[in-house]
Amino acid sequence: MTHTIVGKSITRIDVLDKILGRSKYADDLEFPDVLYAKLLRSKFPHAQIINIDTSKAEKLSGVKAIITAKDVPVNTFGIQFKDQVILASNKVRYLGDPVAAVAAESKELAEDAIELITVKYKELPAVFDSREALKASAPKIHDGGNFAAHRKIRLGTVKKGFQISDEIIEDSFTTQKMEHSHIEPHTGIATVDANGKVTIRSSLSVPFVARAELARVLKLPITKIRIIQPECGGNFGGRNEISLEPYIALLAMKTKQPVKMVWSREEEFIGSTIRHSYFIEYKTGVKKDGRLIAREVKMISDAGAYSSYGESALTKSCILASGPYKIPNVKVDGYLAFTNQPVGGAMRGFGAPQVFAAEETHMDHIANNLGMDTIELRLKNALKTGDQTVTGQILHGVGFTKTILKAAEAARWDKHQLLTEKETNTTKRGMGVACLIYPVGFTEKANPSAAFVKVNSDGTMNVSIGALDVGQGSTTVLAQIAAEELGTSINNISIVTGDTDTDPYDTGPIASRVTYATGNAVRFATAKAKQMLLEVAAESLTVNIDALETKDGVIYVRGAPQKCISIAEAALICQQKGKPVAATASFNPPNALLDPETGQGKPYPTYVFATQIAELEVDTQTGYVKVIKIVAAHDVGKAINPALVRGQIIGGIGFGLGQAMLEKMVLAQGKNLNPNFLDYLLPTSLDMPDVEVLIIEEPEPTGPFGAKGVAEPSNVPTTPAIINAIYDAVGIKINDLPATPEKVLKALREKKG
């Protein structure tokens, strides 16, 4: 089927305001008499609160309100379990825990007021290592202890599998804590109208989930809370649950004035959610010919002080621990432990970057042990259409092998031994590969999207959706889907979003689901509207409805394009007949709960696949690694907008490179030692290698025009591809991220002996 708009690299429809500096992000909005809010956070990683004294701060002129735990109607929240407090009352569990919030006439005054609040604490013993936290002797962070979750996958019998294996290879791997580092910090403004309705303007990625959570916390009906989303300066999972919203809402309710809060960069590191750090152990049994027979994986994820998305991220980690390979016997155990550290939340890849860093470097170890080419090992075990995943789900539309072959060809893998020609006495070259299987949508749980469309009498169409574009370009992609389905130009589509009072429900731009889930909702709603138009067109052209097609805003008879009527005319007729063209549709990615004991079931609707190959150079004198090129082959189902897909993949590679070589939150006794972009290193333009993106399209039957998703998967294979390439270059195995020059140099020295 040929498409006119889908598959084209149409310029993003929101770009003009952005390049002119006219897009309004939360802090760009202006409100008269706005107050500035600031949080007082805990002084200790683990302590009892004896007393909070706000009296001095209250006396400071210009301070309008101070709130503590007693001012919060329902003082609990949490995306999965309500184990987190809005304002701590008797106990703090990490340094980011807010204890009080202030609203004052200026930022400076709010900061002053915070310093005037005195809190008396009784320090408690704390625990900062997830393995220690699970021991019986560890200080208890929550009443129920530090054990937050255990997820399992059971397939076949690993014991037997290991017995019949020719070789057993074991590895352990450690991953770091990372911060989302969207360049726009968390920012929000709350206003309250005369009827007590609270309006919040902040860049939440889950406005509907947040609205329900806020209604609960504030003890208000959902209709009394409205979330308006300004332009969003990046998400990456960092805005997937409420953060500053309850404080500004409570302070605005108390002062009857608009209240704004902007988190400092330091607060982003200390008080926002982060990427969970993992300890992972791999053991794989393999036949001499490379067939994977059995695998046992154990992992411990550090939840930090509260559970947040920890359990569902861990579930994804467990499901993906066998990689994109067919392994008949698998046993995976994942544990989630509380520690007195920043809270792990959702972050691009959601449990996958950690396991794939371990899994894909482990695969290279297996290949090297067998004396086998690392790509050959992967090809031999690759999942194919019709195969079952580790949870027993039968796969369709698997473009995995294609991604391996295309990437290998583009990277000239067969010539990879020739890289030595480019080496010097002190620089060594290497190439490494890593692969990926990644699901689209939520793990196990419902994550619906809805859309509402109306076709106007001039042939244009409004499309209301509830999924904000957080930078990835989803608004453009959804407009393309709508235009293609209706059969009109993209200029005739207007996407309306960003207001919970008027938007239809959406789970949000998370879990790489918008193109697939919201895209389907938009497509189905548009198809219904189109049906209304076709009915009147069939009548006025006196043909059967099946004979009609739409293109470029015109409904015409197939094979006789001169017999036609414009969409505008048809819409006007509908209107005059008393049936204005409007339709709604919803879509929920088909998935189901896993069996808790075996992990068997269908946790996701579909999966994407990818292969990346990194080429790099290691300076053996300094340990500095220069990534030269990355070839990235991604099966996305169908690229609705190839330029945007390329943008997602390159952006993801930047993310993965940061995880591989640069980024790590350094904590000592729960305190963040590098809470800024000077000491926490994000990739810059100088760190980026050349990137060759290869888009593989293996259409997904349940996706809009065959599309799946691409946002998260792109960063995951980058990290292990780089680690594998370092091994290829200099023969050292980094099993603790990130591979900093110090670590590389140390390993080189140890290897030399």
Does 459 help bind another protein (rule: CB under 8 A)?
A: no
Q: Which of 449, 518, 453 is nearest to 486 (CA)?
A: 453
Does 387 help bind another protein (rule: CB under 8 A)?
A: no
**Tokens 């473009």 belong to which residue?**
399
Does 473 help bind another protein (rule: CB under 8 A)?
A: yes
Nearer CB in complex with ligand FES: 342/471: 471
Structure tokens of 55? 């009296």
Q: Which of 271, 504, 654, 709 binds another protein (CB under 8 A)?
A: 654
Looking at residues 245 to 304 of the shown chain, list those that interact with another protein (rule: CB under 8 A): 264-265
Q: What is the DSSP letter of 139?
A: P
Structure tokens of 686? 């100088």
Choosing among another protein, ligand FES, none, which partner's interface includes residue 499 (Cβ < 5 to 8 Å by kind)?
none
Residue 668 in contact with residue 443, Cβ under 8 Å?
Answer: no
Nearer CB in complex with another protein: 244/529: 244
Residue 449 in contact with residue 586, Cβ under 8 Å?
Answer: yes
Q: How far is the CB of 509 from another protein (least distance, A)?
A: 11
Q: Which of 4, 8, 27, 287 binds another protein (CB under 8 A)?
A: 27
Q: Which of 8, 69, 82, 112 binds another protein (CB under 8 A)?
A: 112
Q: How far is the CB of 652 from ligand FES (least distance, A)?
A: 13
Q: How far is the CB of 254 from another protein (least distance, A)?
A: 20
Choosing among another protein, ligand FES, none, which partner's interface includes residue 231 (Cβ < 5 to 8 Å by kind)?
another protein
Q: How far is the CB of 179 from another protein (least distance, A)?
A: 10
Q: Which of 92, 151, 86 is nearest to 119 (CA)?
A: 92
Does 328 help bind another protein (rule: CB under 8 A)?
A: no
Does 699 help bind another protein (rule: CB under 8 A)?
A: no
Q: How far is the CB of 60 from another protein (least distance, A)?
A: 8
Choosing among ligand FES, another protein, none, which partner's interface includes residue 684 (Cβ < 5 to 8 Å by kind)?
another protein
CA distance 543 to 538: 5
From residue 412 to residue 451, what is the string marking binding to another protein with x (rule CB under 8 A)?
----------------------------------------
Residue 646 in contact with residue 714, Cβ under 8 Å?
Answer: no
Choosing among ligand FES, another protein, none, which partner's interface includes residue 676 (Cβ < 5 to 8 Å by kind)?
another protein
Nearer CB in complex with ligand FES: 115/679: 679
Nearer CB in complex with ligand FES: 543/691: 691
Query: Quick one: which segment of 247-255, 519-527, 676-684, 740-748 binds another protein (CB under 8 A)?
Result: 676-684
Q: What is the DSSP letter of 426?
A: S
Nearer CB in complex with another protein: 71/111: 111
Listed in sequence order, the residues at least 6 apart from 409 whose beta carbon sits closer than 8 Å to its beta carbon are: none
Choosing among another protein, ligand FES, none, which partner's interface includes residue 23 (Cβ < 5 to 8 Å by kind)?
another protein
CA distance 709 to 607: 9
Exposed/middle/buried for residue 168 (C-beta within 10 Å: 0-12, 13-18, 19+): middle
Q: Determine phi and psi for 43, rounding to 5 degrees.
A: -95, -20
Q: What is the DSSP letter of 736?
A: B
Q: Please work out, in degrees rounded to the nearest 5, the angle formed at the alpha carbon of residue 131 by the alpha carbons of 666 and 238.
A: 45
Nearer CB in complex with another protein: 108/458: 108
Footprint of ligand FES (CB under 6 A): 183, 234, 471
Q: How far is the CB of 586 from another protein (least distance, A)?
A: 27
Choosing among ligand FES, another protein, none, which partner's interface includes residue 181 (Cβ < 5 to 8 Å by kind)?
another protein
Exposed/middle/buried for residue 157 (C-beta within 10 Å: 0-12, 13-18, 19+): middle
Q: How far is the CB of 183 from another protein (least distance, A)?
A: 4
Q: How far is the CB of 289 from another protein (least distance, A)?
A: 39
Q: CA separation (Å) from 230 to 23, 184, 187, 197, 468?
A: 9, 12, 10, 19, 9
Residue 329 in contact with residue 293, Cβ under 8 Å?
Answer: yes
Choosing among another protein, ligand FES, none, which partner's interface includes residue 264 (Cβ < 5 to 8 Å by kind)?
another protein
Choosing among another protein, ligand FES, none, which partner's interface includes residue 351 (Cβ < 5 to 8 Å by kind)?
none
Concatenated DSSP letters for 519-537? HHHHHHHHHHHHHHHHHHH
CA distance 507 to 524: 17
Choosing among ligand FES, another protein, none, which partner's interface includes residue 646 (Cβ < 5 to 8 Å by kind)?
another protein
> At 177, is the secondary structure helix, strand, or coil?
coil
**Tokens 């049906």 belong to which residue?**
531
> At 566, is the secondary structure helix, strand, or coil?
strand
**Tokens 């919803």 belong to which residue?**
586
CA distance 52 to 64: 18
Does 624 help bind another protein (rule: CB under 8 A)?
A: no
116, amino acid identity: L
Number of shown-chain residues binding another protein (CB under 8 A) = 66
Q: Determine phi and psi for 243, rounding to 5 degrees.
A: -135, -85
Does 666 help bind another protein (rule: CB under 8 A)?
A: no
Exposed/middle/buried for residue 491 (C-beta within 10 Å: 0-12, 13-18, 19+): exposed
How many CB atoms are closer than 10 A to CB 417? 8
Does 674 help bind another protein (rule: CB under 8 A)?
A: no
Q: How far is the CB of 652 from another protein (least distance, A)?
A: 7
Looking at residues 114 to 153 of the shown chain, list those that interact with another protein (rule: CB under 8 A): 115-116
> At 65, is the secondary structure helix, strand, or coil?
strand
Q: What is the DSSP letter of 662?
A: I
Does 58 help bind another protein (rule: CB under 8 A)?
A: no
Q: Which of 1, 2, 20, 701 binds another protein (CB under 8 A)?
A: 20
What is the binding site for another protein (CB under 8 A)?
A: 9, 11-12, 14-25, 27-28, 30, 60, 62, 104, 106, 108-109, 111-112, 115-116, 180-185, 231-234, 236, 264-265, 470-473, 643-644, 646-647, 650-655, 676-678, 682-686, 688, 690-691
